[in-house]
Chains A and B, each alone.
Chain A
């Protein structure tokens, strides 16, 4: 062997070098075409489906707080909005049983029952139980409504209809720039209006206020808590006459321990990964009749999954196998928190024939030692996985244009019934 040709390159003969180069070239080619190119050519891979999707993930989730671990008594999960002046859009709406009274300067913000358009404002206002000052006006209004109802239902006692309890709330302007409030919500879908049904009470303060439709918080009332002691341990509970939440830190730290929906969804995604949910459940409604039927409602098929549904996910779980049903539309098919509670506790009881394991570690024991229900108390892991699941299928389109109302933008039903061809 000559000394001259001792280098690494010389010892690999030409064919080997060409092999290495060719392998790398072929590999890079495929990476370029199938991994990099689609990001530039496929807009759906990076553009959100609707402004609603953007607002839900970017505006609503970070400002919506959920008490994941109720401390003290077995109390209902608490939902609290973090409202910010000139940021959060608010609406104060009357309905059949709710009336709102307001001082003269705030009257223009109230959407009265006879109004056709919802009035939205980004000025921080809140509702509360009427005070002494306004009690006379409120009582009068209540009596008036009750009398009217009695007139309209003269045979109420015979028909067995009970008298409705009218609520009168007072609108006021708090002195703070931000507030914590409870409001009318199911915790899954936020209020959304299409442009035509809204009037803005001032010029848009935030970019998202200009969106085609917009999410808003309906009828916020300040969230107040009261602390109490039981067996030497301090607990807290919701109390409209209690003390308000002082800061975000207080809301998030012990003993209140709220988590934003954004944090919960992200944690739920982590749980979905580590619990291995994705080994049995797929997260895609394929472009097959059987899939859109499987995920559909009684009267409408689910639209097939589109790439932009996944753009807010750190990890996406399309899945390889279905030995549990597909989950891409579970937020619409199974929105009930109670159903999920029972199902995670005992899947085989809740859906007979299922082979899903139990997830008892999503539940804590009752602190008093004697559980008041057959299930444990759902802990933050349950809340996280529940919130994560509830994003599935619910955020593609605004709720007012939802596929489960038959307003599917790609007309899945017509396509599978053969009345329409694929675009």
Chain B
């Protein structure tokens, strides 16, 4: 009992519990969009709920209010435990959490009223009415960074586990990336310089924030929950350094064939291919860890989440480098394939990791076993089987869409090209997407239902007395 009381877990709860709630909110908005914008376009219509105004709310809710916040909560959980000391300043954590939630909720849910900043993934507004939301967010983030770094600095365990490396990397990268995307983008000259900066930010957001955060979580919780040692510490270091080296260079692959210098596109392509290295090391490392005892995959939902997350990670990172090849991008770029790709990484991989982390941390912070393992099994099953129609519909549909667009290039004279376009107009190719979009929406509904079970399970674990189902507390 001594050991458990050593750590103050209130900051963890302050970040995790609201994040779980916002996950459901964000996914509900996503499912709403899937139906209202694509399956039954504009069943509900109006100035404030059309697709363009609601989409950023979905993206903002699931990326910032859910995934980033949940990962910070998990950092608050495992960074002190890996350092052997309690969080440096719980008070600072309470204050930062207060600012964090206030400003994020205000900023993200103000998008429909017209506060969208206008850059991809950087929609967060400078001001909402008289409240400086973006500066407040940056301040809250810097408080979190300061708190976690001081925890590392005051640690008693000398050896630093790989999750700590990833955590420290995330804290530095996120700070830079946040500043680039929020401020630098409007300071550089107008036009393509800004576009280039924006894509730099966008890819760093995924590659240098969510990736190391998710991997830190996976590297901590997989050995912890399975009680198996990590396969290779050295391999995890190779992964860490290649991520640090590669990600910041690849932003321009969002502009392949676009109005940006060819050499930048090539540089981005080359570094994207290098991404195979960190991905294979991470996947190999985590798979080899669980390979010592595959039975646990069947027995434990959080392990299933991590391992399926790793599988999705492998998929997304095979796709990513290939999509940055010019001839592949010619077909996949600007289609729904891209939407599928972003969902498999942020949802299929990092949301899965975060959920596993929550399953791992919850019994410790509540000092109660999970309310129902059966519900957790269902949660995993519905997430997995919902994500299949969801993501594969976007891939297949997007690929077919890209192939249809490519038919315009059949022939050798402009008359032939133009004739192709007359025979298959742009709106025709959109109409062809309808069945795939329907399938995606159904998949989204299944996932939403599965995550609703998750919330019920979490809520009951916190609020109810432990059920009689036997379960050991993981510490």
Q: List chain A positions with a Cβ less than 8 A from chain B.
A: 8, 11-13, 15-16, 19-20, 22-24, 26-27, 30-31, 33-35, 38-39, 41-42, 44-46, 270, 272-280, 282, 284, 286-291, 293-294, 296, 298-301, 304-323, 325, 348, 351-355, 357-361, 413, 416-418
Instruction: A33-B267, A321-B334, A348-B42 are known; give 15 further A-B pairs, CB within 8 A.
Output: A12-B152, A26-B245, A30-B200, A38-B261, A42-B192, A42-B261, A45-B189, A276-B50, A279-B51, A299-B414, A304-B259, A305-B258, A354-B430, A357-B37, A360-B47
- Given the known A-B contacts A39-B189, A320-B254, are A310 and B165 also in contact in the complex, defined by CB atoms under 8 Å? no
Say if the beta carbon of B56 comes within 8 Å of chain A.
yes
Assess the B430–A308 pair: CB atoms within 8 A.
no
Contact partners of A301 in chain B: CB under 8 A: 414, 417
- Given the known A-B contacts A16-B160, A39-B188, A311-B190, are A273 and B37 also in contact in the complex, defined by CB atoms under 8 Å? no
- Given the known A-B contacts A19-B165, A290-B409, A296-B414, are A274 and B339 also in contact in the complex, defined by CB atoms under 8 Å? no
In the assembled complex, the Cα of A351 lies from the Cα of B420 at a distance in Å of 19
Contact partners of B56 in chain A: CB under 8 A: 276, 279
Say if the beta carbon of B428 comes within 8 Å of chain A.
yes
Write the nearest CB–CB distance from B404 to chain A, whole angstroms.
Answer: 9
Contact partners of A275 in chain B: CB under 8 A: 50, 52-53
B414 to A, closest residue via Cβ: A413
Contact partners of A288 in chain B: CB under 8 A: 257, 330, 409
Write the nearest CB–CB distance from B132 to chain A, whole angstroms.
Answer: 19
Say if the beta carbon of B101 comes within 8 Å of chain A.
no
- Given the known A-B contacts A12-B153, A290-B409, are A45 and B193 also in contact in the complex, defined by CB atoms under 8 Å? yes
Write the nearest CB–CB distance from B5 to chain A, whole angstroms.
Answer: 22
- Given the known A-B contacts A34-B252, A355-B41, are A318 and B50 also in contact in the complex, defined by CB atoms under 8 Å? no
- Given the known A-B contacts A34-B196, A279-B55, are A348 and B41 also in contact in the complex, defined by CB atoms under 8 Å? yes
Say if the beta carbon of B155 comes within 8 Å of chain A.
yes
In the assembled complex, the Cα of A277 lies from the Cα of B50 at a distance in Å of 10
Q: Can you list 28 A-B pairs, Cβ within 8 angstroms, ordered by A? A: A8-B150, A12-B153, A13-B158, A19-B169, A34-B252, A38-B264, A45-B191, A273-B118, A275-B50, A275-B52, A279-B56, A280-B52, A286-B258, A286-B333, A293-B408, A293-B420, A294-B426, A301-B414, A307-B191, A314-B190, A318-B259, A321-B335, A353-B427, A355-B37, A358-B45, A359-B50, A360-B47, A416-B414
Assess the A300–B42 pair: CB atoms within 8 A.
no
Decide if the interface of chain B is mainly helix, strand, loop or mixed.
helix
Q: In the complex, which of the residues B38, B150, B334, B413 contacts A322, with contact meaning CB atoms closer than 8 Å?
A: B334
Contact partners of B211 in chain A: CB under 8 A: none
A8 to B, closest residue via Cβ: B153
Contact partners of A353 in chain B: CB under 8 A: 427-428, 430-431
Say if the beta carbon of B248 comes within 8 Å of chain A.
yes
Give the size range of B's interface with the partner. Answer: 35 or more
- In the complex, chain B residues 2-40 whose Cβ is within 8 Å of any chain A Cβ: 37-38
Assess the A315–B118 pair: CB atoms within 8 A.
yes
Contact partners of A298 in chain B: CB under 8 A: 418
Contact partners of B196 in chain A: CB under 8 A: 34-35, 38
In the assembled complex, the Cα of A278 lies from the Cα of B55 at a distance in Å of 11
B39 to A, closest residue via Cβ: A355
Contact partners of A355 in chain B: CB under 8 A: 37-38, 41-42, 430
- Given the known A-B contacts A277-B52, A288-B409, A357-B50, are A35 and B417 also in contact in the complex, defined by CB atoms under 8 Å? no
In the assembled complex, the Cα of A311 lies from the Cα of B194 at a distance in Å of 10
Assess the A325–B53 pair: CB atoms within 8 A.
no
- In the complex, chain B residues 140-190 whose Cβ is within 8 Å of any chain A Cβ: 150, 152-155, 158, 160, 165, 168-169, 172-173, 176, 180, 186, 188-190
- In the complex, chain B residues 112-139 whose Cβ is within 8 Å of any chain A Cβ: 114-120
Assess the B172–A24 pair: CB atoms within 8 A.
yes
In the assembled complex, the Cα of A16 lies from the Cα of B148 at a distance in Å of 14
Say if the beta carbon of B231 comes within 8 Å of chain A.
no
Assess the B197–A35 pair: CB atoms within 8 A.
yes
A41 to B, closest residue via Cβ: B261
Say if the beta carbon of B249 comes within 8 Å of chain A.
yes
Assess the A11–B41 pair: CB atoms within 8 A.
no
In the assembled complex, the Cα of A293 lies from the Cα of B41 at a distance in Å of 28
Assess the A357–B42 pair: CB atoms within 8 A.
yes
Say if the beta carbon of B377 comes within 8 Å of chain A.
no
Q: In the complex, which of the residues A13, A41, A296, A323 contacts B418, with contact meaning CB atoms closer than 8 Å?
A: A296
In the assembled complex, the Cα of A360 lies from the Cα of B413 at a distance in Å of 42
Write the nearest CB–CB distance from A314 to chain B, whole angstroms.
Answer: 6
Cβ proximity bits B426-444 to A, threshold 8 Å, 1 near / 0 not: 1110110100000000000
In the assembled complex, the Cα of A308 lies from the Cα of B197 at a distance in Å of 16
Which of A15, A31, A360 is most buried by chain B, counting CB atoms within 10 A of its CB? A31
Contact partners of A284 in chain B: CB under 8 A: 255, 258-259
In the assembled complex, the Cα of A237 lies from the Cα of B25 at a distance in Å of 51
In the assembled complex, the Cα of A54 lies from the Cα of B103 at a distance in Å of 41
Q: In the complex, which of the residues B42, B117, B255 contacts A358, with contact meaning CB atoms closer than 8 Å?
A: B42
Which of A16, A23, A311, A360 is most buried by chain B, counting CB atoms within 10 A of its CB? A23
Write the nearest CB–CB distance from B99 to chain A, whole angstroms.
Answer: 24
Assess the B259–A361 pair: CB atoms within 8 A.
no
Say if the beta carbon of B369 comes within 8 Å of chain A.
no
Contact partners of B189 in chain A: CB under 8 A: 39, 45-46, 311
Contact partners of B188 in chain A: CB under 8 A: 35, 39
Say if the beta carbon of B456 comes within 8 Å of chain A.
no
